[in-house]
Amino acid sequence: MTAPVPAPGIHATALVDPLAQLDSSVSVGPYTVIGPHVRVGAGTTIGAHCVIEGHTTIGRDNRIFQFNSLGAIPQDKKYAGEPCELVIGDRNTIREFCTFNIGSPGDSGVTRVGDDNWIMAYVHLAHDCVVGNHTIFANNSQLAGHVHVGDWVILGGFTVAHQFVRLGAHSMTAMCSLLFADLPPFVMAQGQPAQARSMNFEGLRRRGFSAGRLAAVKAMHKALYRDDLTLDLARARIAELADKLPEAALDVQMMLSFLAQTSPQRGIVR
């Protein structure tokens, strides 16, 4: 019996289930295994020795390097085979030895990665994590279940986030940081457990923040960390900035919304 001829761009040693939906422009490297419920968009490249399984959807123009495990079942003893998902957006770079699990029925059932993220080697995304856009995860960053990461977040190497922790947009961690509490937007944190050190001013400048917006971020940092205020008093002072610095109104609203969703039990990095 003659062996089937692999599709263009799919290496002859790759095992791609006939039910998998891959755009004709997708390339698949040697010895990669792709399961029946996988969908991959145009222009995505998948390296050698990857396993992509489960109900996994991958968007356009992603670059997935060798030795990745995407879409495996969650590391959750309660999981009983439910058809949960992993959804990855467009133009992401996923380096070697990353493990992204599908979601769990105890949450939304979806682990989600947005667009334009730069994810380095050995990164783990546990079940039900939500990652925004334009993030950078340095090597060995590890997220437990249900962690939410906002846009433009940067995680230093070996950062570890406890389950259910949230990281606000434009926040940043130093190498080997351990997060047990929510990290508010714009905040730079370091330590075990992580403590707030400053705001991510250099990153904001690179993203085109005006002098007025930077002034608002500085004032929010002062209210949260420098003036010895309770969280409620800090929130009240931050709210006043929307009138004083109108161009930063959306930044102020983002901070207030983030703080309003922080549970008293979890708290914020202080």
127 is catalytic: yes
Phi then psi for residue 242, to 5 deg, are -60, -35
Q: What residues contact 47, with CB distance under 8 A and at least 6 apart?
A: 29, 32, 64, 65, 66, 67, 68
251 is catalytic: no
User: Are β-strands 27-28 and 21-22 bridged in parallel, bridged antiparallel, or unpaired?
Assistant: unpaired
**CA–CA distance, 177 with 62 (Å, rounded to integer):** 28
Catalytic residue among 47, 71, 132, 145: 145
**CA–CA distance, 254 with 166 (Å, rounded to integer):** 13
Catalytic residue among 89, 103, 124, 128: 128
Phi then psi for residue 217, to 5 deg, are -65, -40
Are 263 and 165 in contact by the 8 Å Cβ rule? The answer is: no
**CB-side exposure of 89: number of CA atoms within 13 Å?**
17
What is the DSSP code (8-state) at residue 75?
S
**CA–CA distance, 98 with 180 (Å, rounded to integer):** 22
- Which residue in 215, 192, 193, 194 sits closest to 204, CA to CA? 215
Catalytic residue among 124, 127, 146, 148: 127
Q: What is each CA distance from 46 to 14, 125, 147, 270, in whole angstroms?
A: 11, 18, 26, 41
59 is catalytic: no
Please confirm whether the linkage preceding 193 is cis (ω < 30° from 0).
Answer: yes
Tokens of 207: 């993203």
**CA–CA distance, 5 with 226 (Å, rounded to integer):** 66
**CA–CA distance, 127 with 76 (Å, rounded to integer):** 8
Active site (catalytic) residues: 127-128, 145
